Amino acid sequence: MVTLKWCKDQNRGISLIQPNDNLCAEYLASAEETLTLLKDIEKKSRMWLATTKYYCEYFAVYALLMKIGVKSEIHDCTIALCELLESNYVIPKGTSRTLERDKNLRIDNQYYLKNREVPFDYDEMVEFIIHMRQSIQSLTYDKIHSMRELVKRS
């Protein structure tokens, strides 16, 4: 697992940007749009199910990062940020583990054509997005500021 310090030293790693409610809403909308595609893909292709499922989760998490004003173009760094957010009770415990598992499954099925089974439950995906939306809505100015400071110091 990568560290936040390593991520901040990378060209496309973690950086602080202005918090952006518009991008937050766009990423949430992308997560919800992706969710609608999942039912159609479920029985047709394990490769595309793994890819679409992962990006559905990723977009929802990235929406929260946009709300806080943290940019991360390296997926492992986004997952490392999730660990920080979990430990500070911003997002549910297990979010980083879910992203890591589904990222690896996506890589196996998309790049290595392993055709591994993809555990998928539509209702669980809906819950995932609902939890991210609730996490975003519960962010106060002070919480956003403290998370940005934590990222700076990490």
Question: Two tokens at 17?
Answer: 């940007």
Residue 4 lies inside a defined structural domain of this protein = no
In the three-class reduction of DSSP (H, G, I as helix; E, B as strand; rest coil), residue 85 is classed as: helix
Report the alpha-carbon distance of residue 154 to residue 152 in Å, rounded.
6
For 75, residues 6+ apart whose C-beta sits below 8 A from its C-beta are 58, 103
**Total domain count for the chain?**
1
Residue 133 binned pLDDT confidence (cut-offs 50, 70, 90):
very high
Q: What is the largest CA-CA distance in the chain?
A: 45
Phi, psi of 32 (to 5 degrees): -70, -40
For the stretch 12-45, pLDDT in tens is 999 999 999 999 999 999 999 999 999 899 889 9
Read off the tokens for 127: 């819950």
pLDDT > 80? residue 100: yes
The answer to whether residue 6 sits within a structural domain is: no
151 — phi, psi (to 5°)? Answer: -65, -40
Q: Counting Cβ atoms within 10 Å, is residue 107 exposed (0-12), middle (13-18) or buried (19+)?
A: middle
pLDDT at 45: 95
Chain segment 115-128, per-residue pLDDT in tens = 999 999 999 999 99
- pTM strictly above 0.85: yes
**Cα(81)–Cα(62) distance, integer angstroms:** 10
Range of the domain at 104: 11-153
Angle (CA) 66-70-76 rounded to 5° is 105
Residue 1 lies in a domain: no
Whether residue 78 lies inside any domain: the answer is yes
Task: Indicate whether 77 belongs to any domain.
Answer: yes
- Determine, yes or no, domain membership for 48: yes
The CATH code of the domain that includes 127 is 1.20.120.330
